[in-house]
Amino acid sequence: MRGRLLAIGLLAIWVAAAAAELSEVHRSFMAGPAGFIATKAEKKSFEKLGSDAEAERFVELFWARRDPNLATAVNEFKVDFDLRVAAADAQYGGERGRGSMSDRGRTLIIMGRPFSITHQRPESMVDKIAGPEAEKRGGIEVWTYRAEQVPESVKANEVYFVFAESRLGVNDYPLDRDARENARAMKLFAEAPERLLLHPDLKEVPRVGLLAGSKVATSAELAVLAAEPRPWPEGARVQTAQGVQSGSLFPLWIHVRLPEAAPPAAQVVGRAVSAEGTDAGSFAAAARPVPVPGGRAYELSLPLGPGAWKVELALLGATAPVAVTTIAAELEKVPDDGGWISPVYWGAEVRQESQASLGDPFNVGGWHVIPQPGDRYRLQDTLSYFAILVRPGLSAERKPAVETSMAVYLGGKKLTETAPEAAELSQLPGEVWMFGSSLPLGAFPKPGEYRLDVTLHDSISGLRRMTSIPVTIAAR
């Protein structure tokens, strides 16, 4: 027996010594917000880790198993998770610790933003939800989630999370475990780890290229970017824009148009580097042409963060490079929790693509906007223009109130300006909305170089965005 006890004691010492090998950042992983979504099996596996290298592999695989699209370089789940953690820390943190570790923080991280939040005094009608004990504690905060915000397994039109101050003025608002309305809330907490685990059998993190569906480019493939001379067909053009993939992802959209005389491209190869020299990644993929009048276009959506970027891009034919260029672009910082209005996307040709996904290049709610080469149009053309709004201000009826107006200039001189009018918006997935409109250019008095200043104004949040659209109208 003594020998067995000695062996057990030595094993305990060995396990403790192994755990001590982990640095603080890794030891605290499960004690932080990630612990809310970790399965029991993952927690047991984490306890057995003996080095930082093992912990790093565990954490990388932990997030990959929850990635909704393993074919892209960006883990959309991880991006949203980190934003929710940051918002919870900012909103609910204080002397009691990190806001993300509070009950409200946990709810925000797992469930997202509620449909509505109501604040009530204990003597109010909410006493019927929280019970008579609420009178002894303080304020009550009720978060309401609609049916479309909760898993389909929850059969309810609304789900409530009821938080009650431990005593008046403390502002801690823990989840009231005694409130009967919190039964579904506790069930959602318990189910979250398994529900959010999308790839439980994943053993290795996929290595993919920066472009969705691509692989990482090899050194041999990237060598074409440094070769001289760089081919660039006469009449070829590039247009970029800051796109929207979700309320937290804002990729760089690239449209490269080659003339009909240029050979078709079979492969696209490239890489992106920040202004500070940070390598965002590379890609090599089959080129997918978009037929356009007078040639072919090749479009890309690259998941890059805010800041200035340099994208080196090569379109390769069957035997030789067709076009090689370096594209400079800058992406603005979008607020983590506030509203944002995208630049306006415009063109004379718009194609309805109902199967398209939010984030596809120059696609807004299923409408593919084809950029116009040189912004040159005819009087018989119709200019279509769109914008995307992220987290716009909402009324009590949960509707945005956005106005649009336009000022028209010819040769730098203002011709007219329309009065603000209500903009028609359509909701896209998440907290994203789209605006679209069109303008027949035949209404313009004559050919010339015009500028259209399109303004969108969120009258609830006060947010405003103006985009100048250059329009050169040629004679018939």
- Rounded Cα–Cα distance for residues 299 and 241 (Å): 11
Contact 73, 81 (CB under 8 A): no
Phi, psi (deg, nearest 5) at residue 233: -60, 145
For the cut 60, the answer to whether the pLDDT of residue 134 exceeds it is no
Residues in the chain: 476
Q: Which of 158-172, 310-324, 367-381, 438-452 has the lowest mean pLDDT?
A: 158-172
What confidence tens digit (pLDDT) does each residue in 338-387 have? Answer: 899 999 999 999 999 988 888 999 999 999 999 988 899 999 999 999 99
Residues 424 and 435 sit within 8 Å (Cβ to Cβ): yes
pLDDT-derived band at 123, boundaries 50, 70, 90: low
Domains with residue ranges and CATH for the chain = 32-196 (no CATH), 207-333 (2.60.40.10), 335-476 (2.60.40.10)
Going 442 to 236 to 309 to 215, the CA torsion angle's sign is positive
Across 259-291, b (16+ Cβ under 10 Å) vs e yields: eeebbebebbbbbbbeeeeeebbbbbbebeebe
Distance CA 422, CA 399 (A): 12
Q: What was the pLDDT predicted at 154?
A: 84
Least-confidence region, from 130-139, 274-283, 362-371: 130-139
Model confidence pLDDT, tens digit, residues 449-468: 999 999 999 999 999 999 99
This prediction has a pTM of: 0.84
| Interatomic CA distance for residues 432 and 450, integer angstroms | 31
Torsion of CA 95, 97, 98, 104, to 10 degrees: -90
